[in-house]
Structure 1
Amino acid sequence: MKRIIFAVLALLPGLAMAAGASVQLDKADYDLSDKASLQRGATTFMNYCAGCHSTQYQRYNRVAEDLGIPEDLMRDNLIFNGAKVGDLMKSSISEKDAARWFGASPPDLTLVARVRGADWVYTYLRSFYVDPTRPFGVNNLVFPSVGMPHVLEPLQGTPRLEQETRLVDGQEVHETIGIKSDGNGEMTNEEYDQTVLDLVNFLVYSAEPVKLERERMGFWVLGFIAIFFIFTVLLKKEFWRDVH
């Protein structure tokens, strides 16, 4: 529990920094019951994100069980740092190397979808654009001056800002109207959006693996309370019937 609290506190400064971006967030229509989507999201995370980011509050074998992935398949195809299938899902990069290369250690992403929200993560991953002034050559509309590279660029292609120029009080103003890939990625725009949605789905699961079970249990609890309430009312009427 202490580790989870520390993880949330560690993410709060970044949340405050990103709060200033006035960007309309896109709706992430994730589905935690879609095991195929979760499996694709886990594959994307392990191939493109786990090199720097960890989800160290969950274990490989628990993820494999929840997502319907055989343990041998998880071990042979989704674990790249020599970890055992029962280990916590820590990143491949050491904190010392991360601090030297990026200036700070990349945050753990176990709770990112819960802290920032699925819509934020979904929009963020689709809002990178080319910016030669930045250290990694990219910036982000949702998180200006972002300090990470666009790791999904091979899939999306090179994203560039689309701007239109209009006159305001006699002066030209450049207004951003969107981001468009140059089409040199491995995926179409629709395929890339689906890949990002699958990744967000996995991160939402990571933030609360028992969410579906909790919601199912909640219906049973509400049903029990409703039935118990009926018996309570009947008992009250019976008890007070002969009281004058």
Structure 2
Amino acid sequence: MNTSALIRRRFGLVATVIACALSAPVVASESVHLDKFPTEKMQSMPALQDGARTFVNYCLNCHSASMMRYNRMKDIGLTDEQITDSLMFTGGRVGDLMTVALRPADAKAWFGAAPPDLSVEARARSSESGTGADWIYTYLRSYYRDGSRETGWNNAVFPNVGMPNILWQWQGMRGATEERIAPVTDEETGKQTGWTKTVINYDIHGNKTEKVEKIEGDDLHEGTHFQLDKPEGGTMTQAEFDDKVGNLVAFMKFMSDPSASTRSRLGIWVLLFIGVFIGCAWWLNREFWKDVK
């Protein structure tokens, strides 16, 4: 095969791939609005320390953080003694990894799946909808009662999640309203004949009521929308609970990249050094060449 024929063949292949990509049906992905994580907490040592305490007391029972060592918490202002006395309940050394005694096989049998390791969860959950910290911050605040689930809870961000609401005593219990828009398809012809709207109400005890009705419109799209009710019976106000969850997420974000704050501080000094170096180099260059004709 000569060169011109080879070029034509390759050009035709590329054109075919582009045409197929352009003509392929576009599937709309359902996205959830994520609340913005308060990033200023990353600069607050008390917030990070409080988040570490919450993580150890509420998360580390089932979830491990096997890429994190206890002594890295010295970067958020804790001493070895404070870490050992307040954050290590099973003994060991301060340099140990943050693992759990729960065996994966037992976890799968009890919960249906082994709880994931949370070392880099704040980075792994990043998407076009927001950062991983935004996702966790919204997720932990989006639980509602659902009596059809084994745990009695469900989540608007992670539907049918296996993890129960471990912070419910702080936040309280609440219901929700789920609204689903779906197309109606004729079974014989396979053509779409209309739309239905299903409204499911969950009360504060998890009892569910459902209503289905046909709707019409030209701008309808398939999807699900959640409206969460106001929590009731918690030991904290909503503002206090949001602040507490923000501290927890801040620590998880720190845990996913413990050296980030150090790099940021060093980066400022590096930029200042480069600026001074450029000034000195310019002055030296001027002095060197000023007498050269």
Place the TM-score, normalised by the shorter chain, in its bin.
0.7 to 0.9
CA separation in 2, counterparts of 1:70 and 1:243? 60
> Could you tell me how far 1:243 is from its partner in structure 2?
7.4
Over residues 145-196 of structure 1, what are the superposed CA-to-partner deviations in whole Å (9 max), with x where a residue is unaligned? 222111111221113214689xxx9976538553235422222211111110
Displacement, 1:242?
7.3
Does the alignment pair 1:145 with 2:121? no
Match of 2:233 in 1: 184
**Is the 8 Å Cα contact of residues 35 and 134 (structure 2) preserved in structure 1?**
yes
- 1:119, distance to aligned residue in structure 2 (A): 1.0
Distance 1:74 1:229, change over 3 A: closer
Structure 1: stretches of 5+ with no match in the other structure? 1-19
Instruction: Give 2:54's aligned amino acid.
Output: T
Q: 1:197 Cα deviation (Å)?
A: 0.5
Equivalent residue in structure 1 for 2:48, among 38, 45, 49: 38
By relative contact order (CA 8 Å, sep 6+), the higher-ranking structure is 1
What is the aligned partner in structure 2 of residue 11 from structure 1? none
Mapped pair 1:108 → 2:122: no
C-alpha deviation, 1:109, in angstroms: 1.0
CA contact (8 A) 1:157 1:181 kept: no
1:225-244 pair list within 5 angstroms: 225-236=274-285
Aligned to 1:86: 95
Whether 2:203 is the aligned partner of 1:194: answer no
Identify the residue that residue 23 of structure 1 maps to in structure 2: 32
Q: TM-score, normalised by structure 2?
A: 0.66
Q: Does 1:47 align with 2:57?
A: yes
Residue 111 of structure 2 aligns with an amino acid whose one-letter code is F
Residue 91 of structure 2 is aligned to residue 76 of structure 1: no
- 2:10 corresponding residue in structure 1: none
Report which of the two has the higher share of helix.
Answer: 1
Distance 1:73 1:177, change over 3 A: same
| Alpha-carbon distance in structure 2 between the residues aligned to 1:74 and 1:29 | 25
Unpaired runs of 5+ residues, structure 2, are: 1-28, 126-131, 181-193, 200-223
SS of residue matched to 1:106: coil
Once superposed, what is the RMSD of the aligned Cα atoms? 2.8
Q: What's 1:17 paired with?
A: none
Residue 205 of structure 1, CA deviation:
1.2
Q: Tell me the SS of whatever aligns to 2:122.
A: helix
Deviations 1:114-158 (A, max 9, x none): 222211110111111122333322222222222211111122111
Q: Count how many residue pairs are aligned between Structure 1 and Structure 2.
A: 222
Q: Give SS of 2:42's match.
A: coil
Asked if the contact 2:51–2:249 (Cα under 8 Å) also holds between the matched residues in 1, the reply is yes
- Asked whether the 8 Å contact 1:50–1:91 carries over to 2, the reply is yes
Separation in structure 2 between the aligned mates of residue 228 and residue 77 of structure 1, nearest angstrom: 46
Alignment identity in percent?
Answer: 44
* Paired amino acid for 2:59: C
- Distance in 2, Cα, partners of 1:91 & 1:146: 21
| Secondary structure of 1:32 counterpart | helix
Q: Give the distance between the partners of 1:182 and 1:32, measured in 2 at CA.
A: 27
Q: Could you say if the C-alpha distance between residues 226 and 73 of structure 1 is closer, same or farther in structure 2, counting changes exceeding 3 Å?
A: closer
Q: 1:82 to 1:101 in 2, by over 3 A?
A: farther
1-side partners of 2:140 and 2:231: how far apart?
Answer: 17
Is 1:156 the counterpart of 2:171? The answer is yes
CA distance in 2, matches of 1:88, 1:170: 53
